[in-house]
Each structure stands twice: as structure tokens, then as C-alpha cells.
Amino acid sequence: KRKIAVMTSGGDAPGMNGAVRAVVRMAIAKGCDAFCIHEGYDGLVKGGDMIKKTEWDDVRGYLAEGGTLIGTARCAAFRERWGRLKAAKNLIEKGIDALIVCGGDGSLTGADLFRKEWPSLLAELVEKKELTAEQTEGHGNLNIVGLVGSIDNDMCSTDATIGCYSSLHRICDSVDCIADTAQSHQRAFVVEVMGRHCGWLALMSAISTGADFLFIPEVPPARDWKKGMCNIITEHRKMGKRTTIVIVAEGAQDLDLKKISPEDVRKLLAEELGLDTRVTTLGHVQRGGQPCAYDRMLSTLQGADAVNAVLEATPETPSPVISIIENKIVRNPLVQAVQLTQQVADTIARKEFDKALHLRDSEFAE
């Protein structure tokens, strides 16, 4: 019987539980044994009870739960070869040679490195007599499949990551609440939203709430943005608007890569336009709570396809990441997706903003 393990890693995202549930149940439906690795790579390195055989009923009710019920962690040990040696030993001892990882680009990079090293890790464990040659027999390759779980929607190769739409809904709800106060008092609010180096959450929430102005890392504002922003907001007020909402992505920066701080924007609106202005940092509210319908659907379809990808893999197949492109669940090479994501970040860091935007859409668009 094939043994397939699933884990969540990196920052939690709504929908991760749906992915775990789908993997467990699809694996069982296909005649495999399913295992959950608890607490991300930490659990993989610790082994024992952290790698638990999981039955159909164990994941009942998972679909509607936020966060990740099997836990996640940042794990320094897995970045080291000794940590990956322990992880390989723990998997082989349970007869597992397929691992489905739901996490961000860091987690997926680690997973692919683990796959590349797998044969040499097993050889070293046998040489050190930590495993017998019989134990490793038939497990010469490790199948890795990636699922992108992140609220940031910052991964190339997919139109949406598991969690990003739930987070977007939460931001919209929060801005709607803030707008009530803004409307009542004619106030301005500067709202900082998450997304790390990616402006997707900020951009989509600005569109969805009809914000007055927006700052995102990929498209820094013009050099005279202060004047430009004040003019636009003055115009909006003249048109009878009682509220002002400015959305600032946490990674927002100007053309010189200097961080745009919500506090600076607040001061500007207060001092230049005389608006009673407050800053609201939404923080972790954006990460928690129930997954929206889209994330339940996405995580379920992708989790099920991840199991199919394991069962269809040959030693030559590169590790896939399960994506969604133009509403179709598709598989892309994991390494290529991670490298392209990194390339976009590097291009922005070199201030080649137009090139970065083009890059993000290029490779996987066809």
C-alpha cells in the first residue's frame, strides 16, 4: 500500500485544512494510507507521534476551519542537512515516500531540496547504520507535490493561492467597518494590509472597496506622489465624498525603494488637507477566520489533484506545484515556479518595476 503524507508549513492560511482533508480522503479513496505531519518541518524532523496515520473520520469538519489544525512552524533544523537526514529517517521508518506540502515559496523550496537530496540522504543513513538497506528498498525516490497556501498570492505559476480570497474578504469587511466611522465623522483612514513583497491583497482590496488611493510594492508612485495624492483626495471631497480610504501594502515603497509608512501618509493628509486621519493596521485579523467558499473549493480540488500527481509521477517527473490558471487546476514544475517568484522579487529590488510585472505573468501564461 502506498503511503502518502501531507503537511502545512510557513504562515497559516485559510483553506489549509481543506487541503489536508482532501489529500487524506483522496489518498484513502485511492487505496493508499494517509499520514499527517504535525507542526510543519519541525514535526518531520522530530518524527514519532508527529507523523500520524490519519483516517477518513479524523478530518471531519476540517473544511470550514481557519488556520491549520495540524499545526505549522518555522523550522531552522530543516534548513540544515542533519535536520533533513532525521526527516528522511522518520519517513522511511513509516514507509512514506510521498510528501504533499501546503505552504509558501520557502516551504516548497525546502521540499524540493529534500527530494533532490533524498537518494544521498538514504545512502548516508544506511552507511551510518541508522537504516537498513531493506528498509530503504523500493523507496529510492521521494515524490514531492506542492500546494501553495498563502494569503499573499505572491507565487508565480498560479492565479490564486489557497487563502488569498478569504483574506481579501476579511480586508473588505474590515474596510467597510472602518468606512462607517469615516462616513459618520468625515474622517480619513490609512489602512495597512498584509502581502509581504506582493501588492495583490492591497490592489484587490482597494478595487473592491473603492479606495481613494493605493500604494503597492510593484508600482511605486510617481516622485511627486504627495501632491498627486492630495489633489485626488481634494477632488473626491469636492465631489461630496465624506470618507477617504488610503490602502498601503505592507511592502509598499517609493521609486527609491524607501518604505512608504502609513504614519507618513496620515501626517500628510492631516497637515496638508486638514483631515482628521487615523491609521489602522489590520494585522493578523487578515490571516484568520473561516475560509471563504473559493478557498474551500480550491483547496479541495488541488488537494485531490496532488494525490493524483503522486500516483502518476515517474522518477523523471519534476516535482509539480498544483496551480489554478484561468479556472483550471493544472500542474507546473515546482522549481520553475519558485525560481520565477524569486526572480520577480530580485527584479523589483533592482528597481526594474515594469520588467517585474511582465515577468510575473510571462512563463506560465500560455
Of 105 and 305, which has the nearer Cβ to ligand ATP? 105
Of 67 and 110, which has the nearer Cβ to ligand ATP? 110
Q: How many residues does the chain have?
A: 366
Interaction of residue 150 with ligand ATP, rule CB under 6 A: yes
Of 107 and 243, which has the nearer Cβ to ligand ATP? 107
Interaction of residue 74 with ligand ATP, rule CB under 6 A: yes
The dihedral sign for the CA sequence 337, 161, 215, 234: positive
Interaction of residue 112 with ligand ATP, rule CB under 6 A: no
User: In this chain, which stretch among 49-57, 107-115, 217-225, 305-313 interacts with ligand ATP, using CB under 6 A?
Assistant: 107-115
Q: Was 198 annotated as part of a binding site?
A: no
Run of H or E residues at 17? helix 16-29
Interaction of residue 9 with ligand ATP, rule CB under 6 A: yes
**HEC readout, 138-188:** CCCCCEEEEEEECCCCCCCCCCCCECHHHHHHHHHHHHHHHHHHHHHHCCE
With CB under 6 A as the contact rule, the residue among 30, 53, 95, 113 that binds ligand ATP is: 113
Of the candidates 33, 112, 152, 154, the residue annotated as catalytic is 152
Interaction of residue 357 with ligand ATP, rule CB under 6 A: no
Q: Was 59 annotated as part of a binding site?
A: no
Run of H or E residues at 53? strand 51-54
The dihedral sign for the CA sequence 33, 36, 40, 46: negative
Catalytic residue list contains 176: no
Sequence-distant (≥ 6) Cβ neighbours of residue 55 within 8 angstroms: 24, 28, 34
**CA–CA dist 54, 349 (Å, integer):** 43
Interaction of residue 118 with ligand ATP, rule CB under 6 A: no
With CB under 6 A as the contact rule, the residue among 8, 10, 282, 320 that binds ligand ATP is: 10
- DSSP code string of 242-309: --EEEEEETT-B-TT--B--HHHHHHHHHHHH---EEEEE-GGGGT-SPPPHHHHHHHHHHHHHHHHH
Q: Was 196 annotated as part of a binding site?
A: yes
Residue nearest to ligand ATP (CB): 106
Among 9, 11, 29, 20, CA closest to 61 = 20
Among 23, 51, 21, CA closest to 308 = 23
Interaction of residue 3 with ligand ATP, rule CB under 6 A: no
CB of 252 to ligand ATP, least distance (A): 18
Interacting residues with ligand ATP between 38 and 57 (CB under 6 A)? 41
Q: Which residues bind ligand ATP (CB under 6 A)?
A: 9-11, 41, 74-75, 78-79, 103-107, 109-110, 113, 150
Question: Annotated binding residues for ATP, as ranges?
Answer: 11, 74-75, 104-107
Question: Annotated binding residues for substrate, as ranges?
Answer: 150-152, 187, 194-196, 250, 278, 284-287
Residues noted as catalytic: 152
